[in-house]
Structure 1
Amino acid sequence: MNNLNGCTFTWVYQHYLSWFSDHARSDAIPKREEEIVGAHSYNEDVFSDGHISLNRVIYYVPLKQSEAKSGKPEIFGFTELNLLEEDSSGDIEKITPVEYALL
């Protein structure tokens, strides 16, 4: 299944690395992909009919003041929209990312 906007997490991570290069000091180390996924701050159900749901997850990846070229803390943000398929007991059987967007 293709994402609605054709973007993938790899696309998001490449944008993060570009953003990091522009905003971080040369001695700062970018976060690994796994660390980015762990940076989710908020999620909300956009739609649910009892069998399928759309859920939006918002991620904020901080850049510490000591790592930023500006000397101020900075944030890289993006969202992930997921299709959640549930079984008859309401447990999630499958999660399919359908859209990524930069904030």
Structure 2
Amino acid sequence: MIAWLNLGSLVLGVIAWILPAINISRYDKRSKNWVTLSIVSISACSFSLFFQICSFYEREKVEDWSALMDTVSVIASVSAILLSGTIILNAITLYIYRNRT
């Protein structure tokens, strides 16, 4: 179960970064669905972080304290990077599309 949560978190994190990159790359083509892609990106980031919380909960349920202590600092750092990157990419998208609506 924990492996599936981690895999889902990774896939959703990648989606959270790819969608704003698609928005930015399609700027010249007059993309009309940039708001939808931004909302889906932020949602994917949220679900990715939720899967990490669920992963922590599963480890706590089985009392795998050594795994929690070994991974908590890395997961916290990667989660912060994911959240910051998603916010920055979506802010760039908002900035370049601000006069289009």
Report 1 or 2 for greater relative contact order, CA contacts < 8 Å, sequence distance ≥ 6.
2
TM-score above 0.5:
no
Kindly indicate which of the two structures has a greater share of residues assigned to strand: 1
Normalised to the residue count of structure 2, the TM-score between the two structures is 0.31
